[in-house]
Amino acid sequence: MRAHRVLIPALVLLAACSDPSSKSSAQPALAQPTRAAPSDAMTMKSSFAPVVKKAAPAVVNISSKRLVRQQADPFWELFGMGAPRDRIEGSLGSGVIVRADGVIVTNKHVVEGGQEITVALADRREFPARVILADARTDLAVLKIDVGAERLPVLAIDDTGEAQVGDLVLAIGDPFGVGQTVTNGIISAINRSADPSGDAASSYIQTDAAINPGNSGGALVDMDGDLIGVNSFILSRSGTSSGVGFAVPGAMVRRVVETAVGGGRAVVRPWLGARTQSVTGEIARSMGLAIPQGALVADVWPGAAGARAGLRQGDVIVSVDGQTVVDAAGLNYAFSTHKPGDAIRLGVRRGETTQTLNLRAEPPPASPARDERAITGRNPFAGATVVNLSPAVADELGVDPFLGPGVLVIGVGRGFAMNAGLRPGDLIREVNGRGIVEVRDLAEAVAAGGGTWKVTIERGGQQIQAQFRT
């Protein structure tokens, strides 16, 4: 059978104490723990109870409801006997209190589309919640409940990145709705890329701690009782835990929470201004590298932060702020945990030498201006919504900014565009022999009219030409 990526509507996490803007609450004596295998029977009887007791009060249950209109059977509609019916859909998951004033982090898919979101605390009190930020690329959402002047127990976010493969961890949540449950395991891998495309959020902590349906949004806790990750999904053939679970690391959790509590409506990620690819075994051999590790720079955006720092095509980025870069996804993740304005050090291998490049993180440029428009009239694009492609738009939508200037389709509603097979993500290159660089070019081309239209679009790296009559 084929393994599936399963998102788990979940419940999880727990407590500690500390504001998300502060560092981990772990005591200095535990900052560099001694790692040793159990040496005797007495050691084997050691209990996780102190860790659970510390964390459990910050675990919440999250239920989300939405009203869905269910269409009647078309057969009965023919006899006037069918009518659309409304039904309520719900999802159940977990969340973690990360600020004492009622700020909670969970998975976006737990609350997505929810019209009524309820948070149940560990003491069974329930509060209505509102979403203050949802970030699709990390699958994280930040909620807020009103608890007045009360100070809730919180779980400290450990974003030090000191977790190592083999460290003991706990996953706490509400699998299958049976109530709060704790499972233990170890960290199986760090900087794990579940998405080979190199998306910024795809550098996960992998664990074999059992994570089942109902654990989404829950916490992955270390032996200091700190939050090192938010459980997000599993790989499984059965839909239940096979010991391959993934959690969004604490550094990214903190970045999203800080953006939310700071009033941001979206997470602004710094942009290196380079197109990179993971170093494969073949690439490593051709470049004389000892191991296939790092991110090869395939292209550099003129005037961007990377170019100004001296980054060149053919460089291999091997570290960010001293942390090893495993692949392109790891590079993007390391960048995305920073804020615009932060100083970043890149370790770059160029030829036989390795050097350090210093740059200042900055958001992707929004030039040309977005100029979002819905196309109308008698033309092949009627019903489509289009924007100018810029690095900022590319970052928002997860497309390649190096596709060049062009007009990007971001939505297709009812109209000729839908019937013609136009899709979101298509890049309009040419209409009736006229090159399309910006939205205004497309607007002028369709305004010129015509019964026959010759159109060139780019989809998935391939040029598609078609002819239409309207």
In the block, residue with structure tokens 């994280």: 140
Active site residue 22: no
- Whether the Cβ atoms of residue 218 and residue 172 lie closer than 8 Å to each other: yes
Please state, as a whole number, how many other Cβ atoms lie within 10 Å of the Cβ of residue 218. 36
Q: How far is CA 272 from the centre of its chain?
A: 18
- Asked about 109 being catalytic, the answer comes back as yes
Q: How many CB atoms lie within 10 A of CB 25?
A: 18
Burial letters for 332-363: b for 16+ Cβ neighbours within 10 Å, e otherwise?
Answer: bbbbbbbbeeeebebbbbeeeeeeebebebbb
| Model confidence, pTM | 0.78
CA distance 69 to 58: 36
Q: Which CATH architecture has domain 274-360?
A: Roll (2.30)
Judge whether 39 counts as a catalytic residue: no
Number of other residues whose CB lies within 10 A of the CB of residue 289: 17
**Amino acid at residue number 56:** A
As to burial, measured by CB atoms within 10 angstroms (0-12 exposed, 13-18 middle, 19+ buried), residue 426 is buried
Which residue stretches of 23-162 are H helix? 41-44, 49-55, 74-77, 108-111
Per-residue pLDDT, 14 = 32
Can the peptide bond before residue 368 be classed as cis, meaning omega within 30 degrees of 0? yes
pLDDT at 5: 54
Predicted local distance difference test score (pLDDT) of residue 45: 63
Candidate list 24, 63, 91, 109, residue with the active-site label: 109
In whole angstroms, what is the distance from residue 417 CA to residue 379 CA? 8
For residue 272, the number of C-alpha atoms closer than 13 Å in the C-beta half-sphere is 28
10-residue mean pLDDT profile of the chain (470 residues): values are 47 36 43 63 76 90 73 58 59 90 94 88 91 92 95 94 92 78 92 60 84 87 94 83 90 94 90 94 92 95 95 96 90 90 95 94 93 93 95 88 91 90 94 94 89 91 88
Judged by DSSP in three states, 158 sits in coil
Burial class (CB in 10 A: 0-12, 13-18, 19+), 366: middle
**What pLDDT was estimated at residue 329?**
87
Specify the DSSP class assigned to residue 324. Answer: E
CA-to-CA distance for 194 and 443, rounded, in angstroms? Answer: 40
Write down the catalytic residue from 24, 91, 94, 139.
139
Intrachain domains 274-360 and 373-469 with the same fold: yes
* Nearest by Cα to 93 from 38, 152, 143: 143
CATH (residue range 1-21+51-267): 2.40.10.120
227, 247 contact by CB (below 8 A):
no
User: CA-based angle 317:323:327, to the nearest 5?
Assistant: 45
Of the residues 216, 236, 336, 390, only one is catalytic, namely 216
CATH for 373-469? Answer: 2.30.42.10
Q: How far apart are CA 411 and CA 350, in angstroms?
A: 42
DSSP letters spanning 353-369 = EEEEEEEE--PPP--S-
Dist CA 240 CA 348 (whole Å):
42
Domain ranges within the chain, ordered by starting residue: 1-21+51-267, 274-360, 373-469
Residue type, 430: E
Backbone angles phi, psi at 93, to 5 degrees: -155, -165
Q: How far is CA 69 from CA 63, 85, 88, 158, 414, in A?
A: 20, 6, 9, 43, 20
